[in-house]
A = this chain, B = another copy of it.
Amino acid sequence: MPDVSVSDVTYEDLARLEQEFDDAELQTLREQHKIYAPLYKKRQEVVAKIPNFWALVLEQAPTEFENYTTPSDSQVFADALKSIEVERFEIDDPNGSPRSVVIRFYFDSNEYFEDKVLEKKFWHRRALDGWSGIVSEPVKINWKKGKDLTQGLTDAAFALFAARKKQDAAQNGSSNGKAKASKITKLPEYKAIIDKIENNTEAALSFFTWFGFISSHGYVSAEESAEANKKEAEKRAKWAKGEKVEDEDENDEKDDEDDFFDESEICPNGEEVAEIIVNELWPQAIKYFTAAQEADDDDLSELEDADIDDEDDDDEPVDIRSLVPGKGKGKENGSSASPPPKKRRT
């Protein structure tokens, strides 16, 4: 290999570069936050005045998102979704990550559940096995009697997580997430949720199972993450000094990373759903809303029975888009010339 011996590139060089890229991504997220935070605030104020803004955004969502919602979910959004909010809640926390994100769904009083806010937090954490990524905790949804779209799945996920926390606390273990996961299978709540998933395949398609999502890897506690981050910082410090680093955990982990699958996870694609909300729906909300305005009436049939008075007194079903101001009424502030909607309701 004549070309090789003259080279002095090692995998370590590439790994260090990867770390620098990782740091650059964090720095970019911080800069981006500074630029966008005031804009998002302003947008929330504007769109709060538009009825069904967020329901329309969700209707026009990218097809991947559509795969994770059912017509029943769309009905809940049309009936009661008031607002969506995305926030990087650890952006100013030196021990947190700019990648951590909270997604809040605000609802009006409705026939489905008691909650006015469903808040789903995603922490970016590092596991002792070398993995890093986002983890969440199941959110309790206080479903009204007979109205649970998930047929008990979110309750079961919440109960299992509580039992798991209790178990961990009792054992006060320092073992990592994967070792803990094997103990969890012995909990009665584990068997209960597995049964429920098997027997409610249709309910498992509801978007609301996403509130029960934990992780694509296995739960990682704040304590484990702090310990793993400390080890990582030590490793980087050694690297910086040119010292040799033992890193067995990481290799062990990466080999079986692909094999991990938690059967008790009620929303296996939860991370993807979160990514679509955070990286597509949230930043592009106005574009999706505008697209919904321009879509043919047919596309909105699912939302057309939204419960609102229509000043047209014919037999047509209510068109949710007719509720949006600025569509020909002319009651708004002076200039209404540009840019008008392309297709009006006929």
Contact = CB atoms under 8 A, between A and B. Distances in A.
Nearest to A290: B14
A4 B342 contact: no
Contact of A1 (B245, B247, B289, B311): B311
A307 to B, nearest CB: 12
Contacts of A286: 14, 17-18, 21
Given A9-B326, A11-B326, A46-B9, A334 B242 contact: yes
Interface in A298-346: 308-311, 322-327, 329, 331-342
A332 B245 contact: no
Contacts of A51: 3-4
A132 B230 CA distance: 48
Give the interface size class of chain A.
35 or more
Interface string A239-261: 10011111100110011000000
Interface stretch (A27-35, A136-144, A168-176, A209-217): A27-35
Given A1-B323, A325-B8, A14 B338 contact: no
A321 to B, nearest CB: 11
A340 B11 contact: yes
Interface in A12-60: 12-15, 17-18, 20-21, 24, 27-28, 31-32, 35-36, 39, 42-43, 46-47, 49-51
Contacts of A27: 35
A14 to B, nearest CB: 5
A287 interface: yes
Nearest to A2: B309
For A14, A28, A242, the residue with the greatest tally of chain B CB atoms inside 10 Å of its CB is A14
Given A1-B309, A247-B338, 18 more contacts: A1-B310, A4-B51, A4-B331, A7-B49, A9-B47, A9-B325, A10-B325, A10-B326, A12-B335, A17-B39, A17-B42, A17-B43, A17-B286, A21-B39, A21-B286, A24-B39, A28-B28, A250-B338
The 9 closest A-B pairs by CB, nearest first: A10-B326, A31-B31, A247-B338, A7-B49, A9-B49, A7-B325, A10-B332, A244-B335, A245-B338
